[in-house]
Amino acid sequence: MTTSVCEATYRCYDDTADFHKKALGIAVGLTVGSWTDLPEARKAEMEKHLGRVVSVHVHEPEGFQPGERYADLTIAYPDVNFSRDIPALLVTVFGKLSMDGRIKLLDLNFSPAFTEAFPGPKFGVSGVRDRLGIHDRPLLMSIFKSVIGHDLTNLREQFYRQALGGVDLIKDDEILFENPLTPLEKRVETCMDAARQAEAETGQKLLYAVNLTGPTSQLAANAKRAIAAGANAILFNALAYGYDVLHELSSDPDIHVPIAAHPALAGAYYPSPHYGIAAPLLLGKLMRLAGADLVLFPSPYGSVVMPKEENLAVQSALIDPALPVRSSFPVPSAGIHPGLVPLILRDFGHEVVVNAGGGIHGHPMGTAAGGQAFRQAIAAAQDGISLPVAAAQPGNEALKAAIERWGFKE
Amino acid sequence: MTTSVCEATYRCYDDTADFHKKALGIAVGLTVGSWTDLPEARKAEMEKHLGRVVSVHVHEPEGFQPGERYADLTIAYPDVNFSRDIPALLVTVFGKLSMDGRIKLLDLNFSPAFTEAFPGPKFGVSGVRDRLGIHDRPLLMSIFKSVIGHDLTNLREQFYRQALGGVDLIKDDEILFENPLTPLEKRVETCMDAARQAEAETGQKLLYAVNLTGPTSQLAANAKRAIAAGANAILFNALAYGYDVLHELSSDPDIHVPIAAHPALAGAYYPSPHYGIAAPLLLGKLMRLAGADLVLFPSPYGSVVMPKEENLAVQSALIDPALPVRSSFPVPSAGIHPGLVPLILRDFGHEVVVNAGGGIHGHPMGTAAGGQAFRQAIAAAQDGISLPVAAAQPGNEALKAAIERWGFKE
């Protein structure tokens, strides 16, 4: 009999531990509880519930200093032990264990039976592209400059100027909650009206990801209210509400718009080498399994720092064909200006959303020119034309001004 | 005009930063976005949304080594900026900021207007005591020895033996999910039947905290099914589902049983000095605000280690009269045996739940004697009798055997 298992990989720091013994303790302790003292007859029944040590890789360099010795442990957990939901999986593999010394959850591999319970992103990379009718270039997303304390007129103006610049997606700020100045449905109506006005000029569709907030039990209803008011995308602070809530929203047939997951609070989990949950799992694999169509995560270019290899591992988890659900659109965010576009495309490839806030609103010629500069940079990078050359071409004045303002990297 | 604010305190490590400038950047950046470039007329309107620096305490010892310099920053966030829910507050104060270098969220102080939206624990310390009819001693909780792969007959036997020992609460293992061997309602019926059988012998009531699991949208219905089947308490993996879910469950008038919050996954947040959310906030103040009647957290005595001052700070947050909701019962857990009872009572006082697993089931005379040993230890500690003296008294054979097995501390 083959047991269907989910595998968890941990990095565990300890200067003296017997890591093989520790791994065995986890495998038994987090499944059947005890093994050696079970009667033989019970062992036969319990075997299908018993966790197994898959591998133990000890990192112990010659003459290592205190704090340098660690091991990567992989444990297989029979999926018969838990229900088909992310809370059950996380509590099983990292509930009590998260509090047991210096241990970080690096990765999870789901059994096919577990994965089957997750439809994943409803749209994913190709579905988002279909909605926009854009298949031949990276997408461009922009963020409001500021939202708190602004009224609908002001928000509409900000929205319109962003849309005029040729962006594909505009997202709410993640800290814009239900409020009397710009309540959900009125905000959607106003911004979508601005989108139509801009489309009449630019001929370009766009998605507006409105921030979905409120009590957990009201989120689905709020999403449907927003959609009824015209919303064609949703922004969601997934970690503040839990992966299971994202999964339920993305699985709801009446929420038929792309969902962009925001990484708010992610820094409480991923940056420590010793504790927490690694970014490629936290913001990559689990967000995708839970059904995020787009996932924002810290870019390697800005003030919000994540080591570049970790950024790329997040991206990889979002598009890895090994997971049998649609890909999530990677949206590396923070510190992006038009001069970085060739680098972004080299690092992340074609299937990426270039996302900017200050790099659009801070453009010397204004917000609309900010978007245009990005579009010009994307076109140049795709044609293999260096940014200074492209900037000198007629019609690319916005790009020229952006490069003069922020410089460029190639 | 006085602005109603919630205050957040962070510890921020940086060898060179101008912490005053950083604090100002947070206060402005996470509220109105920008300030100095606003027209004067707008400033008047925006002032009520503007965050303020409350204090900056720089810790910079003479000749400090790299990595040792930090500051504790307190920022006041006007509560007009966010809705009255924990996800909104956390995303505001620590959403993007959590990813901005070495920064840990230490504490939150809620505005009265924010707190008003939270009824807090429905029972709390006094309500749990009322339900049990026990007001004159610390309570005793026990945990099943092992649950995965066991059927109802086996679980009933485990339950009955624990109940016979005179425990006040029995909790499910947090990794027991909905499963064909011991499904929710049958498990409740079977265990509550064992509880009645034991009560006929001991004369003692007890609460059985059944593990509430499943899809987020079904949790309230599952809780009500469990209650209809006779459940008189609930165990909940609050961090796996989110504080807001706990808040909604605890606020539901039809869920009229105490809720015990389990700390599963807490170690992904609190142990790093540089990142995450401090334990007294994570497991103390926020669990209580969200309505947990009992809160389990790592004890300072076991293998799951938390520095003792942090344990006591969690306890303090659970019972601090400054928060205008009922107190949550502190349940320090892991590594507890009867010989530690005097120490537990000295550390945590009278309003504590003594919680044991191995320290009950591993008793040389069996599970029932394990519970009795704890009750005898509690009685001795309350009477100021040292454990060896009490153990020598007639009727206290269970305590004597426990001390021979595990020793004692006084």
Tens digits of residue pLDDT in A18-40: 999 999 999 999 999 888 888 88
Domain A5-115 classification at class level = alpha beta
- Give the integer Cα–Cα distance in Å for B80 and A384: 49
Asked if B242 and A237 come within 8 Å (Cβ–Cβ), the reply is no
Which of B11, B30, B83, B98 would best serve as a mutation to test chain A binding (most A beta carbons within 10 A)? B98
Report residue B146's pLDDT band, with 50, 70 and 90 as the boundaries: confident
- Examine the pLDDT at B39 and tell me if it is beyond 90: no
Q: Which two tokens stand for residue A31?
A: 């499944």
Asked if B175 and A271 come within 8 Å (Cβ–Cβ), the reply is no
Instruction: Please tell me the predicted confidence (pLDDT) of residue A36.
Output: 82
Q: Is B179 on the interface with A (CB under 8 A)?
A: yes
The residue-averaged pLDDT of A231-240 equals 98
The SS3 assignment for B43 reads helix
Asked if B91 and A240 come within 8 Å (Cβ–Cβ), the reply is yes
Instruction: Please tell me the predicted confidence (pLDDT) of residue A1.
Output: 55
Which of A3, A5, A37, A99 would best serve as a mutation to test chain B binding (most B beta carbons within 10 A)? A99
Q: Is B324 on the interface with A (CB under 8 A)?
A: no
Q: Are A276 and A269 in contact (CB under 8 A)?
A: yes
Vertex B243 angle, CA B238 and B249, to 5°: 75
- Examine the pLDDT at B228 and tell me if it is beyond 80: yes
- Give the integer Cα–Cα distance in Å for B72 and B130: 41
Asked if A214 and B146 come within 8 Å (Cβ–Cβ), the reply is no
Instruction: Please tell me the predicted confidence (pLDDT) of residue A145.
Output: 86
Q: Which two tokens stand for residue B97?
A: 């900021």
- Give the integer Cα–Cα distance in Å for A324 and B255: 39
- Examine the pLDDT at A410 and tell me if it is beyond 80: no
Instruction: Please tell me the predicted confidence (pLDDT) of residue B145.
Output: 86
- Give the integer Cα–Cα distance in Å for B242 and A90: 13
Phi, psi of A183 (to 5 degrees): -65, 155
Instruction: Please tell me the predicted confidence (pLDDT) of residue B248.
Output: 98
A-chain residues near B26 (CB < 8 A): none
Q: Is B271 on the interface with A (CB under 8 A)?
A: yes
Residues of A with a known catalytic role:
96
- Domain map (residue ranges) of chain B: 5-115, 124-406
- Examine the pLDDT at A200 and tell me if it is beyond 60: yes
Eight-class DSSP state of B123 = S
Q: Is B36 on the interface with A (CB under 8 A)?
A: no
Which of A14, A26, A32, A91 would best serve as a mutation to test chain B binding (most B beta carbons within 10 A)? A91
B-chain residues near A34 (CB < 8 A): 145-146
Q: Are A170 and A159 in contact (CB under 8 A)?
A: yes
Q: Are B176 and B208 in contact (CB under 8 A)?
A: no
B-chain residues near A155 (CB < 8 A): none
- Percent of chain A with pLDDT strictly greater than 70: 99
Q: What is the average pLDDT score of chain A?
A: 95
Q: What is the average pLDDT score of chain B?
A: 95
Distance from CA of A217 to the nearest CA of B (A): 7
Between helix B184-202 and helix B152-164 the angle, nearest 10°, is 30
Instruction: Please tell me the predicted confidence (pLDDT) of residue B1.
Output: 55
- Give the integer Cα–Cα distance in Å for B329 and B327: 6
Q: Is A263 on the interface with B (CB under 8 A)?
A: yes
The residue-averaged pLDDT of B357-380 equals 95
Instruction: Please tell me the predicted confidence (pLDDT) of residue B122.
Output: 98
Distance from CA of A91 to the nearest CA of B (A): 6
Alpha-helix runs per DSSP H in B165-218: 184-202
Asked if A177 and B82 come within 8 Å (Cβ–Cβ), the reply is yes
What residue type is assigned to position A142 of the chain? S
B91, closest residue in chain A (CA to CA): A264
Report residue B395's pLDDT band, with 50, 70 and 90 as the boundaries: very high
Report residue A361's pLDDT band, with 50, 70 and 90 as the boundaries: very high
Q: Is B48 on the interface with A (CB under 8 A)?
A: yes
Q: How many CB pairs under 8 A join A and B?
A: 222
Contacts of B332 (CB under 8 A, 6+ apart): B297, B298, B299, B300, B301, B311, B315, B344, B347, B348, B352, B355
pLDDT tens, B57-80? 999 988 999 999 999 999 999 999
- Examine the pLDDT at B410 and tell me if it is beyond 80: no
Q: Which two tokens stand for residue A28?
A: 């038994």
Asked if B240 and A81 come within 8 Å (Cβ–Cβ), the reply is no
Q: Quote ipTM for the complex.
A: 0.97
B 333-372: CB under 8 A from A: none
Instruction: Please tell me the predicted confidence (pLDDT) of residue A74.
Output: 98
Q: Is B174 on the interface with A (CB under 8 A)?
A: yes
The DSSP string of A269-326 is TSS-SSSEE-HIIIIIIHHHHTT-SEEEEE-SSSSS---HHHHHHHHHHHH-TTSSSP
Distance from CA of B267 to the nearest CA of A (A): 4
Q: Determine whether B409 is exposed, middle or buried from the number of CB atoms within 10 Å of its CB (0-12, 13-18, 19+).
A: middle
* Domain boundaries B124-406, corresponding CATH code: 3.20.20.110
- Give the integer Cα–Cα distance in Å for A300 and A217: 36
Asked if B91 and A174 come within 8 Å (Cβ–Cβ), the reply is yes
What residue type is assigned to position A104 of the chain? K
B282, closest residue in chain A (CA to CA): A268
A265, closest residue in chain B (CA to CA): B95
The residue-averaged pLDDT of A312-340 equals 96
